[in-house]
Amino acid sequence: MDIPSLIVFFCWFVGGFVSGVTGIGGAMVAVPVAALFLPMHEVIPLSCILNASMDGSLAFLHFRQCRIPALWPLLLGALPGSFAGLAMLQMLPGTVLQGAVGILLIVYVLWQRVARAGERKKDSWLAGGAAGFGAGLLGTAISFDGPPAGAYALYQGWEPREVLGTLGIFFLLRSLFTCALQAKAGFYTPEVLEYAMYGIPASIIGAICAFPVVKRIRVELFRRALMVVIALAGLVCLWQSFA
């Protein structure tokens, strides 16, 4: 195993663990670190493949808590969003994408500081469709589909296991669609596929390791620490985009 492959394994093991505890954030931790060693146009399609493996693990572990009615507006919104994100990925250079990643990470951290879980609400086609479109757009363009869907789950007042189950299945289906689009567009080079062979087992192991841990730790404290890591990652991405 060479150094880049070892980095991919470590980054997505941590990413799988983070996603297993919080439901989102795995790519936000893994992508900025991997982008220090690999070209951004390899990291983004690689992350989309590995997101599918992470999300598949979450879906398997928590599928019984999935809110099925909430999936439909999310999925319908994600379809046009994914096509829009693919167009962005094809047109924009790596430095712009990395800068966009940095801005999104910092905005996400700021939003987390002021956001509060809402009261329990009925599933909304309008809000769910908008969240799905945003997740499809950002997930395909920069591999970060978590913030829009996570914001919707917080707004709806879902329970933690409902978030893990519902978003796990949504992210899995959305990631598979994105992978099909990116494969057709020729983004999966031999290098990307080779790195994926190391990242897939790492992300699955990380998610499985989180399953018993999530029942024993104070998740709120862990999320606060995660926000610090994500904020630092965002600053690194911004610095790299202007360097």
Q: What is the pLDDT of residues 100-119, one digit of tens each?
A: 878 877 887 787 777 665 56
CB contact set of 89 (below 8 Å; sequence gap of 6+): 44, 97, 140, 141, 142, 182, 185, 187
The token duo for 29 is: 């931790």
Specify the pLDDT at position 72: 93
Query: If we measure between CA atoms, which residue out of 242, 230, 243 comes closest to residue 30?
Result: 230
pLDDT for the residue 233: 74
- The pLDDT, as a whole number, for residue 218 is 72
CA distance 153 to 39: 33
CA 63 to mean position of chain CA atoms: 18
CB atoms within 10 A of CB 93: 11
Output the pLDDT for position 183. 93
Residue 122 identity (one-letter amino acid): K
| Token representation of residue 169 | 């299945």
pLDDT at 115: 63
Please report the pLDDT score of residue 204 as a whole number.
94
Q: What is the pLDDT of residue 190?
A: 95
| HSE (side-chain half, CA atoms, 13 Å) at 79 | 5
Going from the first residue of the chain to its last (243 residues), give the mean pLDDT of each consecutive group of 10, the final group possibly shorter.
90 91 79 89 91 88 84 93 88 79 80 66 85 87 78 78 85 90 92 96 92 73 69 79 76
Say how far apart CA 23 and CA 167 lie, in whole Å.
7
For residue 130, the model assigns a pLDDT of 92
| Residue 44 to residue 194: CA distance in whole angstroms | 14
